[in-house]
Amino acid sequence: MKTQVCIIGGGPSGLLLSQLLHRKGIDSIVLERKTKDYVLGRIRAGILEKGMLHLMREAGVGERMDREGFVHEGTVISYGDEQFTVNFKDTIGETVMVYGQTEVTRDLYAAREAAGGQIVFNVDQVVIHGADSDAPFVTYDVDGDPQRIDCDYVAGCDGFHGVSRQTIPLDVRKEYEKVYPFGWLGILSETPPVHEELIYASSERGFALCSMRNDNLSRYYIQCSLSDSPDDWTDEAFWEELKRRIPSDAADRLVTGPSIEKSIAPLRSFVTEPMRWGRLFLCGDAAHIVPPTGAKGLNTAASDIHYLYHGLTQFYHEGDSAGLDGYSEKALARIWKAERFSWWMTSLLHRFPDQSEFDLKMQRAEIEFLRTNKAAQQAMAENYVGLPY
């Protein structure tokens, strides 16, 4: 087979790139290691920045999102029983939207299938060849049958454990990483949200987050030990611990119920540089990971897609490679700012095992400064709704 852009990874970033390119008349083939049902079964984040919202609409897949998504004008920060709201709309005139990543992916699959887009599932043994040449190609197996795709460019949207980043030689790439000494235990429950906005809670017992997917589907998290297993936590134990960490008025109105999904996610910050090697471009988790505290995972992938999509369009429509040549530098400049914000929010709200009494006082002072300082709230709002591309 032959295509203009071979996209490795059939998650939301790979599908979004494929759909955007299709609307510009640029051909692509998407390779996905798992099945469609498996991809749609993954529970992921649900807060979309303004840039991601724009890309979804530009891709022609924003109708259901705009109809069913929940617009959020701000977020609640709590510490003990103290709480305050950072109102994004009042502060900077912008909002975010709660719309699950699963629904984003579902909309993109529907659009690619309606357009006859090529998506190959259950691929194995993927190898990228000649990325540093003028004639790259990708080989893979499907049910033991060897396949080959010749292409102009390869987009690596295959996540942290995919083959794309590993294709870049070790003497070319440099990796930066911070591993946090805790994880998030999260549950999904068919219960109404405890608050109309998200609650980010800092407590003596650790961090907690109250989020939602819709009027009767809530997502809750608590900071936990990396040695914990989801099986260590009964639903009752989770709810009781959550109540201890959020303000008492929220705990009193919290509606509990059986969990329909329960998992633990470790937290890390990770960036690889560069994000381009020859004709291979890394996007999303293939190039960078953020702790989920700042709601930046899917949104940083979206900014990568924005830069790569425009670079490819500029090349194919105008014969100008400037956008592709500057891709890594532009993408990384924004990524490091998102990394900083996610690191800051994580440091602000979590309990660390080695914190001294001085550290705890500084953490409290930082939260109270955010509560009382409009410039600090503006900075938080600008980062949370998404820095410009």
Provide the annotated active-site residues. 72, 200, 292, 296, 384
Reference 352, options 239, 267, 242, 228; nearest CA is 267
Count the alpha carbons within 13 Å of 147 in the hemisphere toward its beta carbon: 19
Strands (DSSP E) contained in the chain are 5-8, 28-31, 47-48, 70-72, 74-79, 82-87, 96-98, 118-120, 123-129, 137-142, 145-150, 153-156, 174-189, 198-202, 208-214, 217-224, 259-273, 276-277, 280-282, 288-289
In the beta sheet, which residues pair with residue 257?
A: none
* Residue 123: strand pairing partners: 142
d(CA 364, CA 200): 14
Nearest to 189 by CA among 288, 260, 89, 116: 260
Q: Answer whether 305's CB lies under 8 Å from 20's CB.
A: yes
